[in-house]
Structure 1
């Protein structure tokens, strides 16, 4: 699904454009994935595990724009993609069609400016438009900033998985 571009103001007054990234944004999205994976241990992968080819990412972004059940929204500040969020169906079986999973990543230099709230609000609206009734995510228990954001939007903890991540050290 394509998100209609929208400009929002960050807490510091900086304009920020929310939009669906297209194939032309593939390189910037890959850089964002590497950067955010490097900046925090809360992401699912290490930066050196972002090994998606540019062509594959272009195809992925193109198919996401055309999808009726997937959505990706990025945040652009001063022409640079600095955050990204997306939703995908849990499964294609009828009993799962009401559920989607989502993820979000923000460059550390932009934490605390309200980008997460803007992206999450847009993702929730998009999920409703696509017919989803339930959004789910996994979050590292130590990620208190993330958890506070999710709780602000009504998310509740429904379970924990101890030792879910195994770090290299």
Structure 2
């Protein structure tokens, strides 16, 4: 699915949220690799489950053609600094929901980029008849949990001892969801 470009200026930082296009693939591959090395809030360590340019091209093509998928990028000065995806399921029993994921380069935290990516995704979901958005978040990512709750997400469950981080300790993953009733 494609959305209209949205322009923002937060704390003196101008950026655009737009749908990903196939020519973004090389930059997305690089950005994802960098982000994975900057935070333990995501599922992967740097280099794990690497997606190369052709891999991103295929994801973007699929997401553009599928009305239940949305792939957004955040762009600052013609540079992709973050992205999000909503991925639906082709099974009829799950057709009412999508799963959301987001990541932003650490140098661009504090400008509301993740929040705007999520808000655009919520707006898209609500306007296309999608009833539920789900996501997973590490228990220690308090800032993200508070943002999700502020935007209508509720904690639906906890996956205990779900991840092992670099300190060798186990951490819980919270499963959150937002249900939209018309």
**TM range, normalised to the smaller chain?**
over 0.9
Greater mean deviation of Cα atoms: 35-44 or 46-55 = 46-55
**Counterpart position of 2:118:** 120
Q: Distance in 2 between matches of 1:80 and 1:15?
A: 12
| Structure-2 residue corresponding to 1:2 | 2
Secondary structure of the residue that 2:156 maps to in structure 1?
coil
TM-score with structure 2 length normalisation? 0.87
Q: Which residue of 2 aligns with 1:18?
A: 17
Q: Does structure 2 retain, via aligned residues, the 8 Å contact 1:18–1:73? A: yes
Deviation of 1:8 (Å): 1.1
Check the 8 A contact 2:18/2:72 in 1, yes or no. yes
Greater strand fraction, Structure 1 or Structure 2: 2
Mapped to 1, the partners of 2:22 and 2:136 lie a distance apart of 27
Unaligned runs of 5+ in 2: 169-182
- Secondary structure class of the residue paired with 2:44: coil
CA RMSD of aligned residues (A): 1.3
| 1:34–1:50 contact (8 Å) kept in structure 2 | no
**Structure 2 counterpart SS, 1:48:** coil
The secondary structure found in structure 1 opposite 2:100 is strand
- In structure 2, the partner of 1:85 is 84
Distance 2:47 2:55 in 1: 17
| Cα drift, residue 5 of structure 1 | 1.0
The Cα of 1:156 is off from its aligned counterpart by 0.8
2-side partners of 1:137 and 1:99: how far apart? 11
Q: For residue 156 of structure 1, what is the aligned residue in structure 2?
A: 154
- CA–CA distance in structure 2, aligned partners of residues 99 and 66 of structure 1: 17
Q: How far apart are the structure 2 equivalents of 1:60 and 1:114?
A: 25
- Quote the residue 1:35 is aligned against: 34
- How high is the TM-score relative to the length of structure 1? 0.93
Number of equivalences: 167
Contact 2:69 2:86 in 1 (8 A): yes
Residue 147 of structure 1 pairs with residue 145 of structure 2: yes
Gaps of at least 5 residues in structure 1 are none
